Amino acid sequence: MMMSLGVVDREFHVFRGLPDADGEHIGEVKSFTVPVQPGWVVLDALLYLQAHNAPDLAIRWNCKAAKCGSCAAEINGLPSLMCKTRLDHMPLDKPVLVRPMRTFPLIKDLVTDVSWNYEINKRITPFTPYNDDQSTWRYFQEDADRVQEFRKCIECFLCQNSCHVIRHHRKFNHFAGPRFLVRLASLEMHPLDVADRIPFIKEEAGIGLCNITKCCTERCPEDIRITDNAIIPLKERVVDRYYDPITMLLHKIGIK
């Protein structure tokens, strides 16, 4: 860890650009020097830049506390939240490179169009309790604990950005991505939910396209164990229904 005690001039390489007609990122990396104060995160430096050097620099941000998920970008090549990436954790002698999330179409500079994610979300069958009388709903802490982890998601879409199925292969029409497999897991494992989403998970969410290389888990700023606790359990449920002859037979005769 590199620590500095006072204000230090640091070099930033920031992507500036606009999309072409296809939404591809067209632009160049511009160099800026920012007087960085102790404790600053990348977003602090970019807001300084916006205030002093580049007033037209486009950045999406809201809470600056790693809870709104707005300021997702790629910092030194790694998908990260700008508000959670401390500058004193990076080498002082090297410039800090900031680019927009590569997986999504560009709007301007560091802002991308993530609206595809909201369209996918609409296709998921929402919470479907076994009855509508909330006064009868009872479940225990053990059941809550398991799905509670998934509720930590702040929808920054860094997992979607890191996932090579979307990032490199752009399977937007065939794959829901880790964020929505997490949501599907939270619904499928909910003790009160009775909807059957397994066919959707296999066919439309395309869980078979995930080859569990765990980039989503590595880049999740909320430390959700996306692959181990959401995707693999869902894959196993798909196996139960579609591949394992024993569980398929048991399912047919009503044993689950």
**Quick one: DSSP state of residue 68?**
S
Instruction: Please tell me whether residue 47 binds other proteins under the rule CB under 8 A.
Output: no
Distance, CA of 111 to CA of 103 (rounded, Å): 12
Instruction: Please tell me whether residue 11 binds other proteins under the rule CB under 8 A.
Output: no
Which residue from 142, 223, 252, 255 is in contact with other proteins, where contact means CB under 8 A? 142
Instruction: Please tell me whether residue 89 binds other proteins under the rule CB under 8 A.
Output: no
Could you please report the per-residue DSSP string of 133-154? -GGG----HHHHHHHHGGGG--
Binding mask 102-141 for other proteins (x = CB under 8 A): x--x-------x-xx--x-------------------xx-
Report the 10 Å Cβ neighbour count for 84. 18
Instruction: Please tell me whether residue 195 binds other proteins under the rule CB under 8 A.
Output: no
60 or 167: whose CB is closer to other proteins?
A: 167
Residue 42, Cβ density class (10 Å: 0-12 exposed, 13-18 middle, ≥19 buried): buried
Distance, CA of 56 to CA of 78 (rounded, Å): 24
C-beta of residue 81 within 8 angstroms of C-beta of residue 158: yes
CB 97 to other proteins: min, Å: 6
CB 78 to other proteins: min, Å: 6
Instruction: Please tell me whether residue 162 binds other proteins under the rule CB under 8 A.
Output: yes
**Quick one: DSSP state of residue 132?**
S
16 or 67: whose CB is closer to other proteins?
A: 16
Calculate the CA 126 to chain-centre distance: 20
CB 249 to other proteins: min, Å: 14
52 or 130: whose CB is closer to other proteins?
A: 130
Phi, psi angles (nearest 5°) of residue 80: -155, 160
Sole window of 53-61, 62-70, 81-89, 218-226 interacting with other proteins (rule: CB under 8 A): 218-226
Which residue from 35, 52, 243, 251 is in contact with other proteins, where contact means CB under 8 A? 243
Instruction: Please tell me whether residue 254 binds other proteins under the rule CB under 8 A.
Output: no
52 or 251: whose CB is closer to other proteins?
A: 251
Per the structure block, which two tokens stand in for 61? 């941000």
